[in-house]
């Protein structure tokens, strides 16, 4: 049983504090939002476990709770606040630490609720232990720093993600694009890139830990190296040469990078997966222009065609927004027609959400929520059919599947082109890449037989 220690009884000396604190060292964490947040949460947990803390599920009573927040939509803000309150209800004496994008953008709102002990934001996360020490002395800490002019990539490492076979590796932070609907550049700052040398060292450590697949993540991967002069293709190439890594997957990425030269180089890296998640947002040129996306539908389609020339049977997934300010019925139809033309393998569809502080929030022609949801529902239906079509084309082929979960006598994993596969297997089949005959489909899950 964890011994309860009253904050007021703690010595002010940091060494004495941590000697005592080692008897009350459980930490639970909840991550909202993107894979970059998942990386940041794990990095914070690794710092704490290196100093004697034990990670417990978020739903259990813990001495410290970390809520890594998101602010991409108003719903994300609300969910972030809900999880802060949930943590406090689990243990009213716990230290509550809020980090991430909502904390960065709105620290005053969190502080005013008088629940969080530390508001950390998206900088100086490596100092989380020192903030715990200060907060344990009955202090409320606002550690949010201005990141608008920050040009340094914060080097925080991870050891892994529990028993998972896939590890996210953050190589880029921030965004300089400033799409009219997006608040993220204000929450994450400008583009900062990890050096290729640092990427290689982190990937080597993950490989030695046993991870088979590395997923490169960032806020805007297309702009990796803008600040350092290095190139994303070189980062992929160097990871490709690391023993133990069997797969490299590029995380969500913006269009504009998939030139013939870029594709020619990365297609020669045999470990790179033939799956690309390339954000679209709209298939209408007039909407794309209002969004300040920087490309036309035709230019986007050209990049997809180039990818399919270099990577056969590629899974192409995307994000699509409905109900952007001023979106007409005709513009929405253009988007529906375009996603069918591209024949994506999966769609992530979401209705436009007003973000105060963005240009789109001040635009005329804000659509009612019922129209946005109706259009989202229509696109979701199209997306499900496109996914079925893509999986069906793979039935009867043998694909390499990285199995990473087990449910009874069924092992689960993904092909290189990101088809979810269920197959008969045992625990010994986990964390292996196995050739599998794809034999059937149900509810967009593919069933297979390990060869």
Each residue's pLDDT tens digit, 89-137: 999 989 999 999 999 999 999 999 889 999 999 998 999 988 888 887 7
Fold for the domain defined by 7-142: Rossmann fold (3.40.50)
**Full strand arrangement of the beta sheet holding 118-121:** 54-55, 26-31, 64-69, 95-100, 118-121, 141-142
- pLDDT (tens digit, 9 = 90+) per residue, 278-310? 999 999 999 999 999 999 999 999 999 999 999
Phi, psi (degrees; rounded to nearest 5) at 132: -60, -40
Percent of the chain with pLDDT over 90: 78
pLDDT at 420: 97
Give the whole-angstrom CA distance, residue 180 versus residue 188: 16
- pLDDT (tens digit, 9 = 90+) per residue, 371-410? 999 999 999 999 999 999 999 999 999 999 999 988 888 9
pLDDT over threshold 70, residue 12: no
pLDDT at 13: 57
Per the structure block, which two tokens stand in for 261? 């030269």
**In this structure, are strands 398-407 and 410-415 parallel, antiparallel, or unpaired?**
antiparallel
Domain ranges of the chain: 7-142, 398-450
- pLDDT (tens digit, 9 = 90+) per residue, 237-288? 999 999 999 999 999 999 999 999 999 999 999 999 999 999 999 999 999 9
pLDDT over threshold 70, residue 160: yes
pLDDT at 349: 97
**End-to-end CA separation in angstroms for the chain:** 48
Residue 5's pLDDT band (boundaries 50, 70, 90)? Answer: very low
Which has the closest alpha carbon to 345: 379, 318, 322, 321? 318
Residue 257 in contact with residue 232, Cβ under 8 Å?
A: yes
Q: Which has more confidence, 273 or 451?
A: 273
pLDDT over threshold 60, residue 17: no
pLDDT over threshold 70, residue 15: no
Q: What is the rounded average pLDDT of the residues 136-163?
A: 84
Q: Which has more confidence, 232 or 156?
A: 232
Residue 434 in contact with residue 403, Cβ under 8 Å?
A: yes
pLDDT over threshold 70, residue 141: yes
Residue 365 in contact with residue 193, Cβ under 8 Å?
A: no
pLDDT at 342: 98
Give the whole-angstrom CA distance, residue 47 versus residue 40: 11
pLDDT over threshold 80, residue 6: no
Which has the closest alpha carbon to 219: 174, 157, 277, 279? 174
Please check whether the two domains, 7-142 and 398-450, share a CATH topology.
Answer: no
Give the angle subtended at the CA of 418 by the CAs of 416 and 419, to the nearest 5°.
Answer: 110
User: CATH code for 398-450?
Assistant: 2.40.50
Per the structure block, which two tokens stand in for 327? 């979106």
pLDDT over threshold 90, residue 411: yes
Question: Which residue, chain included where needed, has tokens 């020619």?
Answer: 264
Report the mean per-residue pLDDT for the chain. Answer: 91
pLDDT at 425: 84
Give the whole-angstrom CA distance, residue 113 versus residue 102: 14
Give the whole-angstrom CA distance, residue 308 versus residue 17: 58
pLDDT over threshold 80, residue 14: no
pLDDT over threshold 60, residue 352: yes
- pLDDT (tens digit, 9 = 90+) per residue, 38-63? 999 999 999 999 888 999 999 999 99
pLDDT at 136: 79
């Amino acid at each position: 049983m964890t011994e309860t220690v009253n904050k007021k009884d703690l010595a002010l000396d940091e060494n004495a504090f941590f000697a005592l604190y080692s008897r009350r060292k459980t930490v639970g964490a909840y991550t909202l939002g993107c894979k970059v947040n998942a990386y940041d949460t794990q990095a914070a947990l690794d710092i704490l476990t290196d100093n004697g803390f034990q990670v417990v599920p978020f739903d259990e009573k813990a001495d410290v709770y970390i809520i890594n927040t998101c602010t991409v939509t108003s719903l994300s803000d609300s969910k972030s606040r809900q999880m802060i309150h949930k943590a406090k209800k689990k243990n009213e004496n716990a230290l509550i630490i809020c980090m991430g994008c909502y904390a960065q953008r709105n620290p005053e709102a969190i502080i005013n609720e008088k629940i969080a002990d530390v508001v950390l934001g998206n900088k100086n996360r490596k100092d989380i232990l020192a903030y715990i020490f200060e907060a344990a002395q009955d202090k409320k800490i606002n550690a949010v720093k201005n990141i608008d002019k920050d040009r340094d990539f914060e080097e925080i490492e991870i050891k892994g993600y529990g028993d998972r076979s896939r590890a996210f590796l953050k190589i880029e932070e921030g965004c300089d694009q400033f799409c009219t609907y997006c608040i993220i550049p204000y929450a994450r700052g400008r583009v900062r890139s990890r050096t290729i040398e640092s990427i290689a060292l982190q990937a080597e450590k993950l490989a030695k830990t046993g991870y088979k697949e590395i997923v490169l993540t960032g806020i805007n991967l297309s702009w990796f190296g803008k600040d350092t002069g290095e190139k994303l293709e070189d980062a992929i190439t160097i990871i490709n040469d690391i023993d133990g890594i069997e797969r490299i997957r590029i995380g969500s990425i913006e269009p504009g990078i998939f030139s013939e030269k870029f594709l020619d180089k990365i297609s020669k890296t045999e470990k790179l997966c033939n799956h690309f998640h390339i954000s679209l947002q709209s298939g209408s040129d007039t909407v794309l222009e209002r969004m300040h996306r920087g490309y036309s539908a035709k230019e986007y389609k050209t990049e997809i065609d180039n990818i399919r020339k270099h990577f056969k049977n590629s899974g192409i997934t995307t994000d699509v927004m409905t109900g952007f300010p001023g979106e007409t019925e005709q513009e929405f139809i253009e988007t529906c027609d375009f996603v069918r033309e591209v024949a994506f393998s999966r769609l992530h569809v979401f209705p436009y959400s007003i973000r105060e502080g963005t240009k789109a929030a001040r635009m005329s022609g804000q659509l009612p929520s019922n129209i946005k949801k109706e259009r989202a529902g229509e696109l979701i239906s199209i997306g499900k059919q496109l996914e079925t079509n893509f999986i069906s084309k793979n039935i009867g082929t043998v694909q390499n599947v990285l199995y990473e979960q087990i449910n009874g006598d069924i092992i689960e994993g993904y092909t290189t082109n990101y088809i979810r596969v269920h197959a008969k297997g045992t625990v010994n089949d986990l964390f292996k890449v196995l050739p599998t005959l794809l034999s059937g489909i149900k509810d967009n899950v593919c069933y297979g037989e390990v060869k």
